[in-house]
Structure 1
Amino acid sequence: MLETTGTTETYRPRVLAVDVESEGMERLCSILAPAGYDVLPARGEEARQAADLVLLDVKQPGTDGLAAYRRLQAELGVPSVPVLMLTRRADRQLRRQVLEAGVDDVLTTEPLDPLELKVRVHTLLELKAHRERGGERAEELLDPRARWVEMERLARVGTLAADVAQNLDHISAGLQQALGHVRERAKQGLPPDAEELKKLGVAGEQMRLYGQHLLSLGPTNPKDIQRFDLRDLVPGVVERMRDNGRLGSAEVTVLLPEDPIAVVFNRRQLEQVVTELLANAAQAVEDVKDRPHRIHVGVEMPDMFGDFGPRLFVKDTGIGIFEDELQAVFEPYYTTKPPEKGAGLGLTVARALVESMGGKLTVQSRVNLGSTFTVELPEQTSSW
């Protein structure tokens, strides 16, 4: 806080917009100004030197975008100023290429998500503070791959947290209304309405699920980073879920290779991924009437030539997914389940955790035949 005569002013970070057209400039100002940021056009050396963060708008993030980025870096001359590249479209491979070249983050603008923009700007300013302090955290984030993984995780967590906060507000309102009904009936010496009691139960379960999902995306505890045999992870998860009744009527088969697979990962988070995938599979087979309820879960060895790392898979004989909905299943709150059985965040959380480990989560499915979710982990050099 800056003290002035008779007033207290809050410092507003300055966001420099480079190569942004006038219409885009208005859009950025309408999103960032109410959130506490000053958006400035890139005019003159003084504006560039005063920037806390740069938004660089490019049509294509590939060769042309990197040339614009290098030109900008030369003009800025301040390595601690983070750069968020705005582009119309960018697939995963191109995003990684750009980030490995030194760009701090990439955000697609078709469509531009206001919430995601604010989350990424906030995260990049946190990165700038780390860099300027020169601590160990800043040194870690100088590695392009580590920075890319961290930025993806933080942006996803921030976006989810904001969405969840809004949803919890709605759930809380419904919860208070149902509680009011219960209290009013109690005053009259009457039992509560069964439907209102059901609403209370649904709200409580949704709040539990939201909390569980957000906790799993929280900061990593060093104790959770372990060296272990990947084959040991799956049977333990299956046993716990079976004991808790979370596998329902599904017949679960565990398939494991004979040779050990030594890995170093956050074991707790990887167990959470398998749990979410198994829970999804168990619910997918519930409504199937014409075939057995079967789930195959297992581990595959990494490629001997190093083309890919070890894989985890969960295959079910469930209802399947329509082709045009294959990617939607990973989006927050996409669910075909009733409210008391899911919050629509399980697969979103699973994908976020897998990507935070440097891996990827994919799905293949055919309607009325079943689905296969595959977790491809990064190749590691660990050995027994």
Structure 2
Amino acid sequence: MNEKKSFSYLASHYRSSFRWIATIFLIILVLFAVALSIRFGASDLTYKGIWDALFHYDETNSAHVILHELRLPRAIAGLLVGAALAVSGAIMQGVTRNALAEPSILGVTAGAGFMLSIAYAVTKAPDFSTLVLFSFIGAGAGAALVFTLTAIGKGGITPVKLALAGSAITAMLSALSTTIGLKYDVAKDISFWYAGGLSSIQPIHVQVAVPFIVAGLLLAFFLSKSISVMSLGEEVAKGLGQRTTLIRILCTIVVLLLTGAAVSIAGIIGFVGLVVPHIVRAIVGVDYRWIIPVSAIVGGCLLLFADILGRIIMSPFETPVGAITAIIGVPFFLYLARKDGRGL
């Protein structure tokens, strides 16, 4: 008996040590990605120039202006958008127990993009605060449409039915957005949002969106223990004293905050929320107190490297980061769909 306890203790200690080592390594990797994102671009900056720009800013120096007005906001946005999308996907997968759940597949990002096209059609030149508001409304409407369409069908809600309904709603909303763009002559304005990218990030975008993303991430960390219990199933969660309805509402608010803010500054970037949580579960296990923070780190890292790759492969032109994440995510999605959404 004592031998079993000793083995269990050693196994638990090993898992905990591995998690910390992996997390520290991932944090270092994120810092490296941020440095690369700031360093390379249409005009490369030297590390000495970056240091001077950060601590001895000179507005007459073009390199300093590029760093403060373009590179730094872009790196921060990439980090936060990746974290927001990855954590949204982790929450959706945990609460719905659906391995295929993620914002772009379940219509959340398409709904946000559709409302952004409405904003451009109505106001022609909306300010950024208006775009954020419309993005939040659209994210909620898109998710509601998908879950309603799935729930009224025979057999109830299943992972594959959610994915199919999400694909149908996404296609419909994308077609409607294109129609609105052509009808009201704003197709060029909304094309950026559907391509998904970080090339147009400005300091104002970061300033407005950061509070929403940070608030969403903090609330996600606060709910992580409850999400772990919810991932065990509705009946088990109720048996353990969880207020499941309240937790679902709070998790929905978090997903809408994170996804709405992410789409408002970077457009529709798919599959980050699908791929990252599965990778993270393979590293840290099924405890959402680890999955949520590590997903934020890996999501930010993935999007930064995808953005860097997008600048390189067709230089001097940029490939939209949404195209890079799709190349990674589509095979992963097909693999999970073939398993009928099992895997959580």
Relative to the length of structure 1, the TM-score reads 0.26
Larger RCO: 1 or 2 (CA < 8 Å, sep 6+): 2
Higher strand fraction (1 or 2): 1
Answer 1 or 2: which has greater helix percent: 2
Specify the structure having the higher radius of gyration (Cα). 1
